[in-house]
Amino acid sequence: MNLKEIDLEYVLHSYNRNYVNFKNGKNATLFSEDGKEYIDFTSGIGVVSVGHANERLANAICESAKSIIHISNLYLIEPQALLAKKLIERSGYDMRCFFANSGAEANEGAIKIARKYGEVEGEVKRYKIITLKHSFHGRTITALKATGQEKMHNYFGPFPDGFVYAENIEEIPSLCDEKTIAVMIELIQGEGGVEPQDKEKVQNLSKFLKERDILLIVDEVQTGIFRTGELLASNLYEIEPDIITLAKGLGGGVPIGAIMTKLKDIFKPGDHGSTFGGNFLVTKAANEVLDILKEEKESGKLDERFIYFETKTKELAKEFDKIVLKEVGIGFMRGLRIKDLETLNKIVNTSFEKGLLVLKAGRNTLRFLPPLTITKKEMDRGFEILREVLKEVAN
């Protein structure tokens, strides 16, 4: 059997997988087994924030692997404590952290925090959580139910009760009642189609919720860790959520999720936990990722890259306005709305054939999540390919 046959035989078919065999990477470039070069505008769906084979990240991971990888949360974990301090201080929020292993798991923890708060605060038990219809919050049963896309709720019921879906931010207040404990949103919807929320509307919502002691949970699994230019998109929107969840870009590729919350004493020992969460290896890696990206931000390089990428995307949107409806996004969470799904699929497939990795998202969006360290040369090459692709597909 060749590798593809082995994969098809032994791995569950839950992905529409592309059978390219990548052997090596360097920053935003990947090399396949047959020697072909690919420009990576996906960073493994927003994960490889500091690029492939980042020297500093590799050294941090090796150091941990050669001393301690894991000891469990029953003992002090030095890099975990330091990572929590770094995240809190650099975010500017008065919070504490809990570490999980993925975005879905971080969201599960956030929901548990909200539910516990709704149980111990006030006269009536409050448990309802409002989310948005085009949202995406993960694949565990509860995170899936929190995800407002009805098409994802086939097969897996019965689901936990208490989730209510709003069409948009403006509709949320009218759905709040005496049982509502939290609202969970993405500031820029990712899977839902790279859809940034309006800043003023979000600030008004935040104020409305504060007045009613309803918690605001911001799912920053995709928007966090400089993806939108600031450490957190909440910083960009100038709001102070009660709970923030993180994952994707935080570890630069190692699996880590985090919850940050103002409710510093909500959990007592035994209320929540994780065997792997925040172990030596992943928190050592995340510390290094945060330091690398802080330098990229402070040197002005990150913003320079954003501007260059945005200019290039806008140029293409203008040139190919017959198939591109509009350009969307912030920072390195960008996209092009394509006129129909068939054209979008053609673009993604042709890009791959020509050596460019791009993503699809809801609302017929061609989505770009490049590594935050992508070079000008890599961007130039990527856009050169994309231009050829759009030309071909437009004809």
Phi, psi of 38 (to 5 degrees): -130, 135
Interacting positions 266-325 with ligand PLP (CB under 6 A): none
Distance, CA of 353 to CA of 348 (rounded, Å): 9
In angstroms, give the least distance from the CB of 133 to ligand PLP.
Answer: 14
Length of the chain: 395
Interacting positions 237-266 with ligand PLP (CB under 6 A): 247-248
Among 18-26, 135-143, 345-353, 361-369, the segment contacting ligand PLP (CB under 6 A): 135-143
Among 34-42, 99-107, 156-164, 353-361, the segment contacting ligand PLP (CB under 6 A): 99-107
Token readout for 53 is 């084979």
Token readout for 226 is 């400089």
The answer to whether residue 195 forms part of the interface with ligand PLP (CB under 6 A) is no
Q: Mind giving me the DSSP string for 59-76?
A: HHHHHHHHH-S---TTS-
Q: Which is nearer to ligand PLP, 103 or 118 (CB)?
A: 103
Token readout for 65 is 């692997």
List the x/- string, 138-177, binding to ligand PLP by CB under 6 A.
x---------------------------------------
The answer to whether residue 103 forms part of the interface with ligand PLP (CB under 6 A) is yes
**Residue among 134, 137, 145, 337 that touches ligand PLP (CB under 6 A):** 137
In angstroms, give the least distance from the CB of 139 to ligand PLP.
Answer: 6
The answer to whether residue 222 forms part of the interface with ligand PLP (CB under 6 A) is yes
- The residue written with tokens 């961007």 in the block is 379
* C-alpha separations of 178 from 91, 123, 334 in Å: 32, 10, 38
The answer to whether residue 193 forms part of the interface with ligand PLP (CB under 6 A) is no
Q: Which is nearer to ligand PLP, 202 or 390 (CB)?
A: 202
Distance, CA of 191 to CA of 49 (rounded, Å): 18
Cβ atoms within 10 Å of 131's Cβ, excluding its own: 25
In angstroms, give the least distance from the CB of 186 to ligand PLP.
Answer: 5
According to DSSP H, which parts of 335-375 are helical? 341-354
**Residue among 40, 186, 240, 296 that touches ligand PLP (CB under 6 A):** 186
Distance, CA of 267 to CA of 273 (rounded, Å): 10
Q: Which is nearer to ligand PLP, 60 or 143 (CB)?
A: 143
In angstroms, give the least distance from the CB of 130 to ligand PLP.
Answer: 16
The answer to whether residue 136 forms part of the interface with ligand PLP (CB under 6 A) is yes
* C-alpha separations of 59 from 50, 62, 256, 288 in Å: 13, 5, 18, 9
Give the strand pairing for 188-189 and 195-196: antiparallel
Q: CA geometry: angle at 122 spanning 121 and 126, to 5°?
A: 80
Among 88-96, 97-105, 121-129, 378-386, the segment contacting ligand PLP (CB under 6 A): 97-105
Taking alpha carbons only, the member of 167, 224, 179 closest to residue 49 is 224
On whether the CB atoms of residues 333 and 222 are closer than 8 A, the answer is yes
Give the strand pairing for 37-40 and 29-32: antiparallel
Q: Which is nearer to ligand PLP, 187 or 386 (CB)?
A: 187
In angstroms, give the least distance from the CB of 2 to ligand PLP.
Answer: 29
Q: Which is nearer to ligand PLP, 95 or 106 (CB)?
A: 106
- Determine the residue with CB nearest ligand PLP: 103
The answer to whether residue 183 forms part of the interface with ligand PLP (CB under 6 A) is no
Token readout for 236 is 């960009």
In angstroms, give the least distance from the CB of 135 to ligand PLP.
Answer: 8
User: Residue numbers of the site for ligand PLP (CB under 6 A)?
Assistant: 102-104, 107, 136-138, 186, 190-191, 219, 221-222, 247-248
